[in-house]
Amino acid sequence: AVFMMRLMARSRACSCISALACSEEAATETEEDKKIDIRDHDHDDFVHTEGDLEESLETLANVEKMGVAFTQLTPDAQNGLNAMTNALDRVVEAGFVTHAQRDKVAAFLQNRDESDDEAGSPLKDLLRDVRNKNQDTLNGARNTERSEQFSFQKVKASLDREIEGQKKEISQFKK
C-alpha cells in the first residue's frame, strides 16, 4: 500500500511538472511569435521607407540633371518637377534634413512658381545637399535593417533552442 501511494504521488508530481514544462514551452513559443510579428512589422516599415527614399533620390537626381528654367518646362518636365516637389515635401516633413536645409527647401518650394531664373548654383547646391542627406538616410536605414535582422536571428535561434530543450524535457516526463 505504501508503494502504491508513493507511485501515485510520484505520478501526480510528474504530471504537475509536465504541465508546468508544457506551459513554459507554450509561453516561449508565444514570445517567439510576438517577436516574429514585431520583426515583420519593422521590416515592412523599412521596405516602405526604402521605397520612398529611393524614389526621392531618383527624382532629385533627375531635377539636378535638368538645368533649364522652371518656367520653360514642358508638361512632362513640369510633372517631374511636381514629383520632385512632392519628394522634397516628404523629405522636409520626415525630418531627413537639418533645420537650415529645411528652411532652404521650404523657401524653394514656396518660390518655385515665381522663379523665372535658371536653376542656379545655390539651388543646385541645395538639391545636391538634400540628395546627399537623403542618400545618407537611406544608407543608415539599410544598415539599421541589417543590424536588426541579425539581432532578430540571434534571438530567434536562442528561443528555438529553448523551445527544443523544453520539448525534450516534456518528452522525458511522458515516458
The whole model's pTM is what? 0.57
**What is the DSSP code string of 8-66?**
HHHHHHHHHHHHHHHHHHHHHHHHHHHHHHHHHHHHHHHHHHHHHHHHHHHHHHHHHHH
Q: Report pLDDT digits (tens) over 18-72.
A: 666 667 878 888 899 999 999 999 999 999 999 988 888 888 777 777 654 554 5
Q: Report pLDDT digits (tens) over 113-147.
A: 445 444 455 666 777 788 888 899 899 999 999 99
